[in-house]
């Protein structure tokens, strides 16, 4: 299934699968875990596509496959029409600069023995040919609000939100076109989450970035995403515009995810709890074609 034309698609997955072997107590292979199962998805240039679902649904694995951080079991990943999975590792190197990632944990993603400036200099030294990338590193840090003597401090001297700002500066320093945001605010306080989300929105406007925003928190997604893809057990079960999906969810799993958003009204909260308790087995009765998504409304697709 294709949801965007070739001319507007920056990055796309075509029937991408990623399987992991399941091993028994003596190292014997006992089965296969289908973390991602024949997913087709287009990410349009300049948009924020949110990928949502509960833990273990395959969101991060799919994102890592798109970035070629994981080798796909089958299928193709295309960046501006070029099949990255068909390229040798050396020929994929130029694309690494155009595709960056912001990780979930802002502390473990940083080297504790490097200053903020050194953290941002590293990708510039590896992925660019600039003789002195320091001015660009300082400019990236300034864009995210890390200035002055703070650039010479180590991660332990920063708060969680500031560490994530350094991670964002590191990602944008090489001027990518595409950034995967892997639950970038889930480890932060609510007040800091809003600041980071506002920063991501501002940088997208300024730099023309395209985001894949991975999250399990739909209340966060609603304020940032252009479109939303709902993932369950390695497959996409619903895809549509953000307001479409929030106001008229079509798949039972999507409705359950939406019901998990906290509401102040006790009566509505009780109704949501009852909905979450209903998990009919027919949700998991997949059609023969795992990517058989029906266009129920213009731009709004659901597993049929």
Looking at residue 281, its pLDDT comes to 42
The pTM of this model reads 0.88
Q: Where are the domains of the chain?
A: 9-303
Position 266 scores a pLDDT of 55
Q: According to the model, what pLDDT value does residue 170 have?
A: 97
Instruction: Count CB neighbours of 225 within 10 A.
Output: 24
Torsion, Cα 268 274 277 282, to 10 degrees, reads -100
Low-confidence stretches of the chain (pLDDT beneath 70): 1-7, 262-291
Residue 2 confidence (pLDDT)? 43
pLDDT at 282: 47
State residue 264's pLDDT score. Answer: 56
The contacts of residue 46 (CB under 8 Å, 6+ apart) are: 204, 208, 209, 210
Convert the pLDDT of each residue in 150-202 to its tens digit.
999 999 999 999 999 999 999 999 999 999 999 999 888 888 999 999 999 99
What is 9-303's CATH number, 3.40.50.1000, 2.40.30.10, 3.40.50.300, 3.30.9.10? 3.40.50.300
């Amino acid at each position: 299934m294709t949801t965007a034309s070739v001319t507007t698609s920056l990055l796309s997955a075509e029937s991408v699968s990623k399987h992991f072997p399941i091993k028994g107590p003596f190292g014997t292979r006992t089965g296969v875990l289908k973390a991602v199962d024949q997913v087709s998805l287009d990410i349009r240039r300049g948009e924020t596509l949110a990928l949502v679902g509960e833990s273990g649904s395959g969101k991060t694995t799919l994102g890592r496959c798109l970035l070629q951080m994981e080798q796909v079991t089958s299928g193709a990943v295309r960046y501006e029409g070029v099949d990255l999975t068909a390229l040798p590792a050396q020929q994929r190197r130029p694309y690494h600069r155009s595709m960056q990632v912001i990780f979930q944990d802002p502390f473990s993603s940083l080297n504790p023995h490097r200053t903020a400036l050194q953290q941002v200099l590293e990708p510039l030294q590896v992925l660019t040919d600039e003789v002195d990338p320091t001015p660009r590193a300082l400019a990236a840090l300034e864009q995210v609000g890390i200035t002055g003597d703070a650039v010479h401090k180590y991660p332990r001297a920063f708060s969680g939100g500031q560490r994530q700002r350094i991670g964002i500066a590191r990602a944008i320093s090489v001027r990518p076109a595409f950034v995967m945001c892997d639950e970038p605010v889930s480890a932060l306080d609510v007040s800091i989450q809003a600041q980071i989300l506002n920063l991501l929105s501002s940088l997208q406007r300024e730099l023309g970035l395209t985001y894949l925003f991975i999250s399990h928190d739909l209340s966060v997604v609603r304020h940032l995403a252009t479109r939303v893809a709902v993932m369950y057990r390695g497959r996409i079960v619903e895809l549509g515009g953000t307001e479409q999906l929030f106001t008229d969810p079509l798949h039972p799993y999507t409705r359950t995810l939406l019901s998990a958003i906290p509401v102040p009204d006790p009566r509505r909260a009780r109704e949501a709890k009852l909905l979450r308790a209903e998990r009919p087995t027919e949700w998991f009765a997949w059609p023969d074609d795992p990517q058989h998504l029906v266009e129920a409304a213009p731009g709004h697709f659901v597993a049929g």
